[in-house]
Structure 1
């Protein structure tokens, strides 16, 4: 009799998180079941509950764990280099990675539950992180404007495929982004 296959708990958790991000970005929270997530991850539905306890906890963790590279860039990059670094991050991400990333979740905020989770993540990870590095009373607003600009570029280029942004070279976009962001970062 063959031995039962051992499960790799870390790999299973990551597969469930990735499947949740992908499905939620395409179908919203209400349009995604735990069965759908488990099937996409190639595991039994009971493992969703074993590893996360509930669909809500799985979704919360999936969103909490997305966007960490952007957070690191915001925390560690000198302010004058930040717009280009974030833009490079957006442009370098492959289409497959973007599907399982924060930008994919941002574009699917027509679901109230997901909108609240994404808003909380955005404020905690990006707005607060960047605003803490900026001087002046309107630092949070300026931080959100920088993130809005970069998120908009990702949306127009990757989701909508607009002609000008899709056709523009990396350096051309970066030069414009740096000029637009400089006054926001200086205050």
Structure 2
């Protein structure tokens, strides 16, 4: 449907999605109604339902949108994180983002999964596909490091990419719950140390 929209229609649809994303970041999925989104986007009810015929359709579109966004807002996608220094900077940016938000977090796949993961199979499948896409980007970054000899040959890149992704998502969820960035910092530090342990001649800290 998006490909058949006019430029004006695409802009209106994106404005609705942006409004929904911002509201969900503040209020959560359960606390965000379609009427809230309509008002925030400045559209009529008929416009909203022209693009999204139900709240579920809107939420699934938000999931797809966020799957294409950087896991740490305003930071590079993971395909650029192909060095220990870049991974460290990315982790630090995730921690800083949590600090700036007072631990409340953003509307990301992780926060959406916390509310929707078991709610319905369609949402779970959309979230799963998004996480797998993020993992594949991490995998590509680690592969580049292994090809340059920065990781030992035979390193299990799937395991390392899952460790990094799990640290980010699990650490973020616990930090948001406790309103404390220490869980995220601890999880990311542990994951980075694990990745660094596969460096040839390991012995230095990441």
The answer, yes or no, to whether TM exceeds 0.5 is yes
How far off its partner does 1:174 sit? Answer: 6.3
Q: What corresponds to 2:182 in structure 1?
A: 165
Whether the 8 Å CA contact 1:49–1:55 is kept in 2: the answer is no
Distance 1:142 1:177 in 2: 8
Whether the 8 Å CA contact 1:75–1:129 is kept in 2: the answer is yes
Distance 1:18 1:106 in 2: 18
Structure 2: gaps of 5 or more residues: 1-7, 144-153, 201-206
How large is the Cα RMSD of the aligned pairs? 3.8
Which of the numbers 160, 163, 185 marks the counterpart of 1:142?
Answer: 160
Q: Indicate yes or no: 2:82 matched with 1:78.
A: yes
Give per-residue Cα distances to partners, 1:96-155, cap 9 Å, x unaligned: 99333333213222322322211111112x111112344558433331221001212211
Deviates more, 1:143-152 or 1:80-89: 80-89
Q: Indicate yes or no: 2:138 matched with 1:130.
A: yes
For these two proteins, the number of residue pairs brought into alignment is 172
Task: Tell me: CA distance 1:145–1:174, structure 2 relative to 1, closer, same or farther (3 Å).
Answer: closer
Task: Tell me: CA distance 1:76–1:133, structure 2 relative to 1, closer, same or farther (3 Å).
Answer: closer
Structure number with higher relative contact order (C-alpha < 8 Å, ≥ 6 residues apart) = 1
- Find the residue that maps to 1:69 and give its secondary structure: coil
Structure 1 stretches of 4+ with a deviation exceeding 6 A read none
How far off its partner does 1:78 sit? Answer: 2.4
Distance 1:141 1:174 in 2: 15
Distance 1:55 1:173 in 2: 34
Structure 1: gaps of 5 or more residues: 1-7
Distance 1:34 1:70 in 2: 25
How far off its partner does 1:95 sit? Answer: 2.7
- Find the residue that maps to 1:110 and give its secondary structure: coil
Distance 2:18 2:132 in 1: 22
Task: Tell me: CA distance 1:180–1:91, structure 2 relative to 1, closer, same or farther (3 Å).
Answer: same
Q: What corresponds to 1:116 in structure 2?
A: 125
How far off its partner does 1:76 sit? Answer: 1.1
TM-score (norm 1): 0.66
Whether the 8 Å CA contact 2:19–2:37 is kept in 1: the answer is yes
Which of the numbers 87, 92, 102 marks the counterpart of 1:88?
Answer: 92
